[in-house]
């Protein structure tokens, strides 16, 4: 026998619809909690960058890395609970502009430009101006990438690839570099190379180069025990050797999009020759 909103006596409980509505609203709030945590990490990263010490800059890089984790969780939780919404998508994008746009741009300038420029003023004035411009270019590319993703979604061909480098990966490259080397740049030539890296990251975000999304991995299916062991080893390496491990991961992802594009172009040329 089926009862709808009945109490034990068999009468309708007027409180049940309200409780059900409140429960649904609470479920929708859960993914937003991770988005707020992502935004909080970006906000802290900016404040730590303004402090300017080596420890503060490293803490800012760590905060950006934690924001990447929260950003990956909010979407997965929303999809798993069936609570995807237009509000959540827009809220997530606004948080990403702060955590993966403004925070990395501030950190990149403070770590790669500001220290050298302050020690070599007024000779470093032009480098400071260039740093402002390129930092804004990186921020603009981040906002551009997020707006395009909200409209166009993933790359053509399913959810396996992103069209352009995802913003968390670009921010992770900056954060991993700062965390690995720690000591701010104090050489003009290295500062120029650092700015070239920022330009490359912005260009990759704005491009249509395919980057693997890892969304086709079925975490709920059975995996070989060796895979679990490898995941445990990776987690241990990140915990005990976070600097070099995260640097290798970020660099590999940075390069793999370029490699995939080169391979695609080579295949198209070979196909056109044999056609």
Task: Please choose, from the candidates 208, 185, 182, 197, the residue with its C-alpha nearest in 3D space to the C-alpha of residue 254.
Answer: 197
Phi, psi of 19 (to 5 degrees): -65, -40
Do residues 213 and 159 touch, judged by C-beta distance below 8 A? yes
CA pair distance 248, 177, nearest whole angstrom:
10
> Which residues are CB-neighbours of 238 under 8 A, at least 6 positions away?
245, 246
CA pair distance 19, 21, nearest whole angstrom:
5
pLDDT tens per residue, range 174-187: 999 999 999 999 88
* 217 SS3 class: coil
Between 51-65, 187-201, 220-234, 240-254, the lowest mean confidence (pLDDT) is in 220-234
Integer angstrom CA distances of residue 58 from 83, 104, 107, 246? 35, 12, 9, 13
pLDDT range class, residue 191, cuts 50, 70, 90: very high
**Domain locations along the chain:** 20-274
CATH of domain 20-274: 1.20.120.1760
Q: What is the pTM of this model?
A: 0.84
Peptide bond into 122 cis (omega under 30): yes
Q: What is the pLDDT of residue 22?
A: 46
pLDDT tens per residue, range 251-262: 999 999 899 889
Question: Is the pLDDT assigned to residue 211 strictly greater than 80?
Answer: yes
Mean pLDDT of the chain: 84
Do residues 172 and 68 touch, judged by C-beta distance below 8 A? yes
Q: What is the pLDDT of residue 46?
A: 97
Ramachandran class of 243: left when φ > 0, alpha when ψ lies in -120 to 50, beta otherwise: alpha
């Amino acid at each position: 026998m089926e009862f709808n909103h009945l109490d034990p006596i068999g009468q309708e409980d007027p409180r049940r619809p309200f409780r059900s509505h409140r429960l649904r609203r609470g479920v929708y709030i859960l993914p937003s909690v991770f988005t707020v945590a992502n935004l909080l990490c970006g906000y802290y990263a900016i404040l730590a960058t303004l402090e300017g010490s080596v420890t503060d800059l490293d803490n800012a890089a760590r905060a950006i890395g934690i924001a990447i984790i929260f950003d990956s969780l909010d979407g997965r939780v929303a999809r798993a609970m069936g609570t995807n919404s237009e509000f959540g998508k827009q809220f997530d994008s606004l948080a990403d502009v702060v955590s993966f746009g403004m925070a990395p741009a501030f950190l990149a300038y403070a770590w790669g430009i500001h220290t050298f420029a302050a020690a070599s003023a007024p000779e470093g004035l032009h480098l400071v101006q260039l740093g402002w411009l390129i930092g804004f270019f990186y921020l603009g590319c981040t906002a551009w990438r997020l707006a395009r993703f909200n409209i166009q979604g993933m790359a053509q061909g399913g959810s396996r690839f992103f069209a352009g480098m995802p913003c968390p990966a670009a921010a992770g490259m900056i954060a991993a570099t700062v965390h690995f080397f720690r000591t701010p740049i104090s050489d003009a030539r290295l500062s120029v190379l650092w700015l070239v890296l920022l330009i490359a990251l912005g260009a990759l975000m704005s491009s249509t180069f395919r980057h693997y999304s890892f969304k086709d991995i079925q975490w709920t299916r059975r995996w070989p025990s060796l895979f679990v062991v490898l995941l445990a080893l990776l987690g241990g390496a990140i915990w005990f050797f976070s600097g070099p491990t995260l640097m290798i991961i970020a660099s590999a992802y940075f390069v793999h999009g370029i490699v995939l594009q080169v391979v695609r172009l080579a295949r198209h040329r070979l196909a056109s020759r044999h056609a």
